[in-house]
């Protein structure tokens, strides 16, 4: 009859549920990070991985949103753009980016969407004291997270931004959004050029989960470069390993996540009323 043996103290019938929706799902770090943040705030809540296949998304998400004890969802690859359609209202960042990574149920039952990736990336640079203003930026990946990072960095008044994506139309769309944010930025759609770049950003999934590829076709990187990788599993992607070996300053995906988690939990607990 030992209670310590036959129960755990972190999940129960009253626990409020949150989920992260993605495909694949094994690489996500949101479950352990959000759940820790809920605990820090003394909330009986947990964030669980929800592996939804692309063909199931349209039928499964509305059903999940009807779970009476589910209060919010986080979206990751490949659903950040697609998830917009689930929100009754979009926050200020989401409207500019055309993607969300958080969907919160309001006390009125309405679901509100917002995207926090870009703010998290900028916050990671700020915490490390690495300037973005006046810098020459090259970024790879213009999907949901890429667009959010691009728009948030454009707000920081960089000198130039080169945007690359395998999907040319996606890259062009992000370039247009950046020009719309700040016409003073020199914007180009082109593969990254290491020579005339100060900050290299990978916001594509290249390097995730044992993928040995680099998102750039190089053997070495100049040590003056700052290299950021949004991938969170592994912490040290092939790109980050190469950058560290070449003496570059590195900023990792987990630092971006730290910047986001607290703001996203604010957003969830306020029912989506507290936007970006």
H/E stretch holding 261: helix 253-269
Q: Which is nearer to its own copies, 123 or 165 (CB)?
A: 123
250 binds its own copies (CB under 8 A): no
Q: Are strands 111-114 and 102-105 parallel, antiparallel or unpaired?
A: antiparallel
- 213 makes contact with its own copies (CB under 8 A): no
Q: How buried is 11 (Cβ within 10 angstroms: 0-12 exposed, 13-18 middle, 19+ buried)?
A: middle
State which of positions 217-246 bind its own copies (CB under 8 A): 233
Residues in the chain: 276
Which of 41, 42, 43, 66 binds its own copies (CB under 8 A)? It is: 66
Pick one of 82, 136, 236, 258: the residue that binds its own copies (CB under 8 A).
258
CB 90 within 8 A of CB 113: yes
β-sheet bridge partners, residue 103: 73, 113
- Residue 43 touches its own copies, criterion: CB under 8 A: no
Closest CB to its own copies among residues 50, 242: 50
Q: Is 210 in the site for its own copies (CB under 8 A)?
A: no
Task: For residue 54, state whether it binds its own copies (rule: CB under 8 A).
Answer: no
C-beta neighbour count of 114 within 10 angstroms: 27
Is there binding between residue 201 and its own copies (CB under 8 A)?
no
Q: Is the dihedral of CA 156, 30, 200, 82 positive or negative?
A: negative
Please give the residue ranges that form the binding site for its own copies (CB under 8 A). 5-15, 17, 23, 25-33, 35-37, 39-40, 46-53, 56, 59-60, 62-64, 66-69, 233, 258, 261
């Amino acid at each position: 009859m030992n209670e310590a043996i036959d129960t755990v103290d972190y999940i129960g019938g009253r626990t409020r549920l949150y989920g992260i929706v993605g495909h694949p799902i094994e690489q996500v770090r949101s479950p352990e990070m959000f759940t820790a943040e809920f605990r820090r705030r003394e909330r009986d809540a947990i964030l669980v991985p929800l592996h939804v296949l692309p063909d199931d998304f349209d039928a499964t998400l509305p059903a999940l949103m009807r779970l009476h004890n589910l209060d919010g969802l986080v979206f990751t690859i490949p659903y950040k753009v697609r998830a917009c359609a689930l929100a009754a209202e979009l926050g200020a960042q989401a409207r500019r980016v055309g993607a969300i990574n958080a969907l919160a149920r309001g006390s009125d039952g309405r679901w509100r969407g917002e995207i926090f990736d870009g703010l998290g990336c900028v916050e990671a640079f700020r915490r490390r004291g690495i300037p973005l203003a006046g810098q020459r930026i090259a970024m790879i990946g213009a999907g949901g997270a890429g667009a959010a990072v691009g728009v948030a960095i454009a707000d920081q008044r960089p000198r130039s931004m080169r945007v690359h994506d395998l999907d040319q139309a996606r890259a062009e769309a992000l370039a247009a959004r950046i020009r719309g944010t700040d016409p003073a930025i020199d914007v180009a759609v082109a593969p990254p050029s290491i020579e005339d770049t100060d900050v290299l950003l990978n916001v594509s999934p290249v390097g995730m989960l044992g993928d040995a590829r680099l998102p750039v076709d190089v053997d070495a990187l100049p040590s003056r470069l700052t290299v950021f990788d949004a991938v969170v599993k592994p912490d040290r992607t092939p790109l980050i390993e190469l950058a560290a070996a070449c003496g570059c300053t590195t900023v990792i995906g987990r630092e971006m996540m730290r910047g986001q988690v607290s703001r996203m939990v604010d957003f969830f607990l306020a029912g989506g009323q507290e936007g970006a």
